[in-house]
Copies of this chain bind each other. A is one copy, B any other.
Amino acid sequence: MRRFFHPDASSLDLPRVLHALSDPVRLEMVRRIAAAGELTCGALGEARPKSSMSHHFRTLREAGVIRTRVAGAVHLNALRGDDLEARFPGLLAVVLEKS
């Protein structure tokens, strides 16, 4: 069973989180994950190669923006909404705002 690194809530770093969110592809991923609650990698990777998507998932995961859990053969990704809200109140609302 594969294991991923997830920073714990208290060590979330603002520049790192902002950088993770500053890529248009990742921003869109985050919005769709937020809207769906939980999404497999495949559900987001229609347009790009899997290895590219995997890179973006990793960036989001290691910044603490999403949490990835293994469910059988698929990986389910969810926003770390509570952790983000606790550490950077209001950030998620800004990012999820459809402008």
Which residues of A pack against B, CB within 8 Å?
Answer: 14-16, 18-19, 21-24, 27, 87-91, 93-95, 97, 99
Contact = CB atoms under 8 A, between A and B. Distances in A.
B27 A23 contact: no
Nearest to A90: B90
Contact of A93 (B15, B19, B24, B90): B90
A21 B22 CA distance: 9
B88 A94 contact: yes
A14 B16 CA distance: 16
Chain multiplicity (copies): 2
Contacts of A91: 90-91, 94
A14 B99 contact: yes
